[in-house]
Amino acid sequence: MKKVFDEVGTLDKRCYEEFSLTEDILMEHAACSMAKFCEEKFEDESTILIVCGPGNNGADGIALARLLYKKFDVKLYLPFGAKSQMAQLQEKRAKLLGLEELDFVCSCDVVIDCLFGSGLNKDLDENSIELLKRVNYLDAYKIACDIPSGINSLGQINSVAFKAHTTITMGAYKKSLFSDISKNYVGEIIVGNLGIQREVYEGSSNTFLLEKSDMKLPFRKDKNSHKGTFGHVGIIMGEKCGAGRIACDAAFKFGAGLVTAVCHKELNLPYHIMQSHFIPENCTAVAIGMGLGKYEHAEIKDILALKIPKVIDADLFYEELLVENLNKELVLTPHPKEFCSLLKLCNIANIKVEILQKDRFKYVELFTKKYPNVTLLLKGANTIIAKAQKRYINNHGTPNLSKGGSGDVLSGLISSLLAQGYNSLDATITASLAHSFAASNFAKNSYALTPQDIIDEVTKL
């Protein structure tokens, strides 16, 4: 996993004060990172339009234009002039080299956005909005310097933003790159080197970007084993029993030795899924909430009182009785609407989904600060997993997963790992990554994915 930061200005400042690296040196390396990408990806003499803002993001772009000059057909456009000290210095260097400036947006093979970067702290004016619309309209490969212009420090877009194929962010990952709405704009994210290795540049952080290597699959290594060695999952079946069926199959296929569907009526289930009217005494994990519907509160209360790991999903996020159990080791897997209900029940915030989505990290932090024993997985385009003061981002999900039943698969996967002895955080991280990569590996049309397809792909990881 890689560190993610709220902002990197303090990291830059540390470079100046502790390592005597000047702003000019960092900027030169930022430009070199972008130049290297261009040289490796595009053919010589390709037309590259670099659109620069008046500040230091624009200065990065002017420095890049100087580095690419003559190898490519470089077009430099400064629609708002060069205002910062570094932008003026870089413009002077570019002019001494013979680089001329355009006064319009031209057609090109590649367009590089160096307008505002992560320093954007106000709404765009009409001229900026129209400029970004024109640049987005170009039939060209699009690269953003640091962060697509129009995305602010919280990952919000108030009007329009540059839509990049690739974002080359400088120094380290920023949290604003991983808001849900940012996912449509950032494309592939590459971290540019600023003159020192990231291990030196980066400080401490409580937020991390998950990678495939963080997925610890439950491969069976102990030869002296039996089905009980690998745990027993109890899935509580509700009114909409299809959700429970999906979770049962996911739990079984992800390594649980035994899976029992707990239901008050007889169901036609696969042969490998057991049935019971009560939770078996040897259960090592329980999942409840998926398709639950109307259920006796006394029974839910008894289930929540069990001293075994539990996954809570769906309908239970609207039940007040859940709140009194949030001091326990639970895994919660709400989608945004469900999380808003939970925030209200917990007297943390009374907000609508639109407000939550504008600052998901803020409300996740408020919740886990109040309930540090809970592992929270907030579903979304970029899933956030959090426990106590640490947060983990899974940005590997795909639109394929926007289907009914996908969340039921996830609940089954997490409960399976809990039953096998994983702690709540490791179970949630591994299951979430497996869920995402399984969907990504689906070879058919993106609209065709079913819960069973996800389960089948999980078995191939």
**Do the bridges between strand 47-52 and strand 375-378 make them parallel or antiparallel, or are there none, so unpaired?**
unpaired
379 appears as a binding residue in the annotation: yes
335 appears as a binding residue in the annotation: yes
**Do the bridges between strand 141-145 and strand 110-114 make them parallel or antiparallel, or are there none, so unpaired?**
parallel
Q: Are 331 and 386 in contact (CB under 8 A)?
A: no
Alpha-carbon span 170 to 117, nearest angstrom: 10
242 appears as a binding residue in the annotation: no
Strands of 47-52's sheet, edge to edge?
A: 101-102, 73-77, 47-52, 110-114, 141-145, 166-170, 188-192
CA 418, 419, 424: angle at the middle one, nearest 5? 15
Alpha-carbon span 146 to 144, nearest angstrom: 6
CA dihedral 235, 407, 210, 166 (to 10 degrees): 170
57 appears as a binding residue in the annotation: yes
347 appears as a binding residue in the annotation: no
244 appears as a binding residue in the annotation: no
343 appears as a binding residue in the annotation: no
DSSP 289-318: -TT--S--HHHHHHHHHSSS-EEE-GGGGG
398 appears as a binding residue in the annotation: no
Q: Name the β-bridge partners of 47.
A: 73
268 appears as a binding residue in the annotation: no
123 appears as a binding residue in the annotation: yes
118 appears as a binding residue in the annotation: yes
Alpha-carbon span 401 to 455, nearest angstrom: 12
380 appears as a binding residue in the annotation: yes
**Do the bridges between strand 383-387 and strand 390-394 make them parallel or antiparallel, or are there none, so unpaired?**
antiparallel
Alpha-carbon span 43 to 147, nearest angstrom: 24
125 appears as a binding residue in the annotation: no
400 appears as a binding residue in the annotation: no
65 appears as a binding residue in the annotation: no
195 appears as a binding residue in the annotation: no
146 appears as a binding residue in the annotation: yes
408 appears as a binding residue in the annotation: yes
139 appears as a binding residue in the annotation: no
| Neighbour tally for 281: CB within 10 Å | 6
Alpha-carbon span 364 to 354, nearest angstrom: 15
CA 325, 331, 336: angle at the middle one, nearest 5? 100
DSSP class of 72 = B
228 appears as a binding residue in the annotation: no
149 appears as a binding residue in the annotation: yes
Q: Name the β-bridge partners of 52.
A: 114
158 appears as a binding residue in the annotation: no
Amino acid at 110: V
CA 291, 395, 346: angle at the middle one, nearest 5? 50
Q: Tell me the angle at which helices 241-253 and 406-419 cross, rounded to the nearest 10 degrees.
A: 50
Q: 139: closest CA among 108, 161, 163?
A: 108
Query: Count H helices, E strands: the chain?
Result: 15, 19
302 appears as a binding residue in the annotation: no
Binding residues for AMP: 379-383, 407
Binding residues: 56-60, 113, 117-123, 146, 149, 243, 291, 335, 379-383, 407-408
Binding residues for K(+): 57, 113, 149
Binding residues for (6S)-NADPHX: 56-60, 117-123, 146, 243, 291, 335, 408
